[in-house]
Structure 1
Amino acid sequence: MSVYENKATLITPYGQGGVAVILGLGKNINEAIQPFFSTSKKIKPSQNIYYGTLYDDKREIIDQVLIRCFEYKEVDAIEICCHGGIAITEAIFQLLTSIDILRSDDLFSPSENVALQNFIHSKTDLVAKIFAYQLNGIWNSYIQEIVTHINQDNFTQAITLLESTLESFTIFNMITDPQSIVIAGKPNSGKSTLMNQLVGRERVIVDSTPGTTRDAIKVLVSLSGFPFYIYDTAGIRDSDNVVERMGIEKTFSMLDSGRHILWVIDSSLPPVEEEIPENALVLLNKVDLQPRFIEEYKRLYRNAICISAKKGLAIEEIARRLVPGLDKLQQSFPMIMSEDQYNVIVEVIRLLEERDTKKALLLLAGTCFYFSWSLE
C-alpha cells in the first residue's frame, strides 16, 4: 500500500464537543482498519454502521467507537466516531499513520475545505444550511451551466450568472465574521428589553429604574438566521453617579467605533432633541401602548421602524434593514468563499467581455475551485 494512497482528516472542531469524527479515504481503507477494530461483524464497504472497540498497534484500547463505511466520490471511505477528547483523537491518528493512512488537510478542494470548516463552526441554522449546499457540489452544476453558455457563444448570459455570485462574498463575510450591533438610547427606552427579545431569553436584567445597565453587555444573536454580536449599553443621560457616568462614556466610545447602531426611543414620551448618530437605525419603541406622539416621531425620523420590544413586534424588519438583499437570499446559491475566488470571477468576467474564452475557461478550471469538469 502506498503511503500516498490513503488519507484521513478530522471533520469536527478539534478538541470541542463530546464527539469527534475522523474521515478516511482510500482504496480498501475499511480492510486496513479491520485488524484494530473488534466488533461482532466484519466491516464491509457498504452503508453499514459498526459499533466496537478500537485498539492501537500494541492492542491497547483507544476507545469504543462507531465506524461507518461508504463510498465518497468513487473512493472507499470510513468515518470513525469517537469521544471528542484531544488525547483520543490523536491516538486514533497515530494508529492510522502506523498503517499508512496519513493525516492530511487536502482531502477536499479548497472550496470544500472552507465550506466544511465553516459548516462545523456554523453559529446559526441558516449558516449551517448555506454551507451544507456548498459541500454538496452546488458550484459544479453552476459552472457547468456557465461553460455551456460560453461554448454556445452566449456570453451575456454567462457574464450575468457570474456577476450574480459577486454579492455572495459580502454574505460570506457577514456569516463567518459576525458584525457588531450597539443598542443605544436614553435610559428606560427599552434597550435591555429589545436585547432580551433578540436573544430569546432573559439575558439582561430589565428594571423600570433608569440607569440599570451600567456596562456594555455582549451577546451572540441570530437575526433572520444571520449571526451578530449585539451590545446593550448604558442609557445616555446626565448623571452624577460616577459608575453610571463611566458606563455612559463607554457607550459614546462604542458609538464612535463604526458598528451598526440601533437607537431606541420611547415613543410614549413627547419628542425631545437627541444627538443620534447619522448611521443609526432609529427604533420607535412601545408602539403597543398606542402612543399619541407616534405620528410626530414618524415625521422626525422618516426611516425609523416602529417596534414593540416587549411584544416582539417588527423585530424581523430590523434584520432586513441590516442585511441588504435578505429577502432575495436563497440557501442554495453558489457562494464565493475567498478573495482569490472573488478575483477569479472578476477576471473571468473581464475575459468574457473581451471574448477571450480560452483563458476564461482555463481560469475557471484552475486550482482556486477544483471543479469536476473537463475542458474537452
Structure 2
Amino acid sequence: MSLPNGVYRADQVGSFLRPKALLEKREQAAEGKITPEQLREAEDEYVANVVKKQLDAGLRSITDGEFRRQWFHVDFLRHLAGVELRGTMQSTNISVGGTMPPRLVVVDKIGHPKPIQVDDFRYLESRIAAAGAKATTKVCIPSPTMVHFRNSRETIDEKAYPTLDPFFEDLARVYQEELDDLYKAGARFVQLDDTNLAYLCDPKMRAEAEARHGDANVLARQYAALINAAISKRPADLTIGIHLCRGNHRSQWFAQGGYEPVAEVLFKDLNVDAYFLEYDDARSGDFSPLRHLPENKVVVLGVMTSKKPDLEEKTEIIKRLNEAASFCSKGLKQLCLSHQCGFSSTSEGNDLTEDEQWAKVKLEVEIAKEVWGDDLSI
C-alpha cells in the first residue's frame, strides 16, 4: 500500500530543541528589550537553519521545530476568540518539575478572528522551496480536545454556553476555518497533537476526567466526534494525522497505560489518515491494540525515544517494528518509524544536546531505510 500524502517511513512528530540564543531572544522580548518584530526576525533565522538540518538528516516531513512557541498547544489556542489564559495547570504526576502550562479558560463564544498558523506555514514553505527539496511542509496544531479535557463546567462560561453542544459546535467550526485558511495557503498536511485520548488510558487520569466530564467511554466518543467535525470539510488532498502522547515536558511524563481503553474509538471512529503513537517504553502497553487498525490507514510508530540521549540498538528497534507489524493486516506496509514525541514540546526541551538529537534522527532514517528501502515515501 502507498502511504498517505506527506507521511514517510522515517517521520517525526514536530518539535526540536530550541537554540539557546533563540531562547535568550524570547526572554528579551518578554522583558521589552526587543520588539516583537525583532523576535520574529530571529525566529525566521533559526527556523531556516532547522529546516536545513532536518533535510540534511534525511527527513522529508519538515516542520519549523515549533521554534515560535513556548508550549505546543497554548501558543495556538490563545489566539482563539473567547479563550483566555488564567492561572496555571496542576499536575497529578509529582515527578514533573519546571513551570506548568497556563490554564485555558473559555470566557465567551469561541471564534476564529484571523488565521493563526498561515504566516508561519508560508515562511516554512518558502525555506523548503529555497532548499530545492522534495519535502512536505508539515503544520502541527493542538487537537481541539485540548480546549476541553483539563477544564470543567466552571471554566466554560455558562452565559456563553448554557449547554455544551453549542460549545463543541463552535470549537469544530473554528478548526474548520483554520484548516480552510491553511489549505488555501498551500498546506497539504496537518497534524493534530492530542494528549487527551492517551490520558484516558491512564486509570488515575481517567477517573479524574470522569469526575469532571462523566463516563470516559462516552467522552472518548465525544472527542472522536469533535475531531471528525473539525476536519469534516477538508479537501480530499489534505492529509490529517493525529499524535497521541502521555507527556513530554523536559523528558518527563504525565500518564501511563496501554491504548486498549480507546483503541476502537481511535482506529475505527476517527476519520484521520495517520496515527503518530507513543510506544517508546512499557508505559504505552503492548502492540495488540493495533489489531483494530483499518487496512487503509497507517501508524507512525514512536518506538524510539526523544526523552533520552542514548542511541537505540538497531536490532531492537527492527524487532519491535516487526512485532507491531504482526498485529496489522498488511504488516510493515502499514507502519512507519519515529520518536515517540518531539524533542521540545515546551521551550525548555528534553534532556539531551542538539548533537545528540540529530544523531538520533539520523539513526532513525538509517533504520527506516534498512527496513523499507531507500525510498521512504512508499
TM-score (norm. length: structure 2): 0.24
- More helix per residue: 2
Q: Which has the higher contact order (CA 8 A, sep 6+)?
A: 2
